[in-house]
Amino acid sequence: MSHDSRSCWRNLMALTLVGLLGACQSAPPTITPGTGDPAAPTAQGAAAQGTPHPLSIQVLNSGLALGLERFAFLLKDENGSPVRDGAATVKFSRIVATTGQEVKAADGEAIYFGQGMPDGGSWVAYTEFDSSGTWALDVSLLRSDGWSGALKTQVEVQGKSDAPRAGMLAPAADLPHVAPGGDLKALTSDEKPVEALYTSSLADAKAAKQPAVVLFASPAHCPSPMCKAALDGMKAVQAQLGSRARFIHVESRDAQDPTQMSAAAKAWGLASDPWVFILDARGNVVARAEGGIDNTELDLLTRMALGEQVTKPQQ
């Protein structure tokens, strides 16, 4: 796939998630699934409600790189209490190194995913970073009761990433798998494995011209319960879409020394878990997600890779 076609595909992904399927454009928007309820409050309306309260942010990404990224974050109010509801708007701006000027690149709604996950979930915005360096981030939020909050911060975008990023081919080395009826215990620490997650290879997905969803997680060995929760979410989505896409679970931890990443995880440049990668039918990474991802978000990403128009999930 050429650079131009990959760029076009990433823009089309963004357009798909806002329900605006159409021609590729040069300024990719932040991915915001659906348009939501037109009667709902918007964060842009916060100014009419008075001076916004100060918010603080915790960025959950271990690093950001060029290309399409899933930007995950937590918000707290001035009392340190988590903020998990309301209409949140995120604006990303490039900062010109020589002048310090901010140039708006994308903005849109952030969605709160993972309410039922062990960590309580996070705010998520998908956006494309087209240059490395320092970026400005503006977040504003408005609740239905009129309470509003805002913050401004900066994030660093790296020019490269150890883990495959959007637009790159997945690593050539195939992932561990067995033939149907094979020994699943050799491949997973899951106590209740679903065979379909261990019998497909990336080559099989390409041959079938199907997207692939690859999850690196060790349900019995990860430091947090997020790996098991992410695998449970994959099982749920595979049960619905398994005939149209290949779902592959890979142990992220070494079976002999769970303090170390597995050989497969190292081959993909991973130093933490869990990670999810969405590949198109040609084996190109079209999206990636670091940390826990619930079945609702994974379903959206998978359907996006299948070319479906998707809408904002019900909160």
Q: What are phi and psi of 311, to 5 degrees?
A: -125, 165
Per DSSP, the residues of 82-144 read B---SEEEEEEEEE-TTT--EEEEEEEEEEEE-TTSTT--EEEEEEEE-S-EEEEEEEEEE-T
Provide DSSP, 49-86.
Answer: GSSPEE-EEEE--S-EESEEEEEEEEEE-TTS-B---S
The amino acid occupying position 179 is A
Same domain, 150 and 44: yes
Of 123, 158, 193, the position where a domain reaches its end is: 158
Give the range of the structural domain holding residue 82, as residue numbers without chain letter: 35-158
Residue 39 and residue 153 in one domain: yes
Residue 261 DSSP code: B
Domain check: are 108 and 210 in the same one?
Answer: no
Cβ density class 203-236: b for 16+ within 10 Å, e for less: eebbeeebbbbbbbbbbebbeeebbbbbbebbbe
Residue 22: its pLDDT value, please? 26
Cα three-residue angle 68-35-156, rounded to 5 degrees = 30
Quote the pLDDT of residue 10.
Answer: 46
Per-residue pLDDT of the chain (315 residues; tens, 9 = 90+): 444 444 444 444 443 343 322 223 333 334 333 333 333 445 544 444 579 999 999 999 999 999 999 999 999 999 999 999 999 999 999 999 999 999 999 999 999 999 999 999 999 999 999 999 999 999 999 999 999 999 999 999 999 999 999 999 999 888 999 999 999 999 999 999 999 999 999 999 999 999 999 999 999 999 999 999 999 999 999 999 999 999 999 999 999 999 999 999 999 999 999 999 999 999 999 999 999 899 999 999 999 999 998 776 765
Q: Total structural domains in the chain?
A: 2
Q: Is residue 52 a part of any domain in this protein?
A: yes
Edge-to-edge strand ranges of the sheet holding 212-216: 246-250, 212-216, 275-279, 285-290
Q: Assign 177 to helix, strand or coil.
A: coil
Burial class (CB in 10 A: 0-12, 13-18, 19+), 138: middle
Question: Do 231 and 293 fall within a single domain?
Answer: yes
* pLDDT of res. 259: 96
Q: Give yes or no: residues 196 and 266 share one domain.
A: yes
pLDDT given at position 49: 53
Q: Which residues contact 38 (CB under 8 A, 6 or more apart)?
A: none
27 occurs within a structural domain: no
* Shared-domain flag, residues 141 and 41: yes
Verify that 55 and 150 share a domain, yes or no: yes
Asked whether residue 174 is domain-assigned, the answer is no
**196 shares its domain with 112:** no
Please state the pTM of the whole predicted model.
Answer: 0.85
pLDDT of residue 315: 58
251 and 292 in a common domain:
yes
Q: Which of 110, 140, 158 is the last residue of a domain?
A: 158
Same domain, 53 and 139: yes
| 49 lies in some domain | yes
- Where residue 133 sits, what CATH number does that domain have? 2.60.40.10
Any idea what DSSP says for residue 38? T
Tell whether 47 and 127 lie within a shared domain.
Answer: yes
H/E stretch holding 14: helix 3-17
Helices (DSSP H) in 187-276: which residue ranges? 202-207, 226-241, 263-267
Distance of CA 224 to the CA centre of its chain: 18
Domain at 272, CATH number: 3.40.30.10
Do 68 and 139 lie in one domain? The reply is: yes
